[in-house]
Amino acid sequence: MRHRLLGVMLAAAVLATASVLSAHHSVAGQFDLSKQVTLKGVVSKVDWVNPHIYLHLDVKGDDGRVVTWSLGTVPTAMARRGGLTRESIAGASGEVVTVECNPARNGTEHLGWVKTITYADGRRYELSGR
């Protein structure tokens, strides 16, 4: 019965979508999965595009200068399966979120792959494993 309970709980979280995934390049080919960067900033824009959603995170440095990071994450169909929307990923206007991400392997600055996003209310999106 307990197994059945968890199964129902998981099933309840699943949104039906019919989109099909293409073959795609490896995340490890683009991002250094052995390194992790933690950012605090405001999501200024979410590009709800395939094959990967990209969010823009405005991060204020110690010198007060704001730098915008471009952060890739899961395809839209996967986000939908988890019940995530452009709005839920963006958070409230001006909300400071914490993002754990992997940096680009080719040295491109301010480019990363989202691992987790934690919002001011404590909710946390784990998007790419640990």
Partner 1 sequence: MTHRLIRRWLPAAACAAAIVAPAALTAQAPPRGSAELLAQLSAKATPRLSGKPDLNGTWDHLGGIEFIRPTKLPDGSVCIRGCAPPAGAPRPVPAPAAAPRPAAAPPAPLFPKYKPEFLAKVKDLSARQVETDSGLRCMAPGLPRLGPPGKIIQTAKEVVFLYDDVNGAFFRIIPVDGRKTYRKDMPASYLGDSIGRFEGDTLVVETTNFNDDTWLTDNGAFHTTDLKVVERLRRVGDTIEYTATSHDPAVLVEPWNSKPYTMWITSQELEEPARCEDRDLDHVVDGTHHDNPR
Residues that bind partner 1 (CB under 8 A): 2-14, 16-26, 28-30, 47-54, 70, 72, 74-79, 81-84, 88, 104-106, 108, 111, 119, 121-130
Judged by beta carbon, residue 29 or residue 61, the one nearer partner 1 is 29
CB of 64 to partner 1, least distance (A): 29
**DSSP 8-state secondary structure symbol assigned to residue 33:** T
The nearest distance, CB 63 to partner 1, in angstroms, is 27
CA geometry: angle 69, 72, 76, nearest 5 deg: 135
Structure tokens at 74: 């899961």
**Closest Cα partner for 95 from 54, 53, 40?**
40
Indicate the residue among 62 and 121 with the shorter CB distance to partner 1: 121
Q: Give least dist CB 15 to partner 1, A.
A: 8
55 burial (CB, 10 Å; 0-12 / 13-18 / 19+) is buried
**Beta carbon nearer to partner 1, 13 or 60:** 13
Residues 44 and 59 sit within 8 Å (Cβ to Cβ):
no
Measured from the CB atom, the residue of 12 and 64 that comes closer to partner 1 is 12
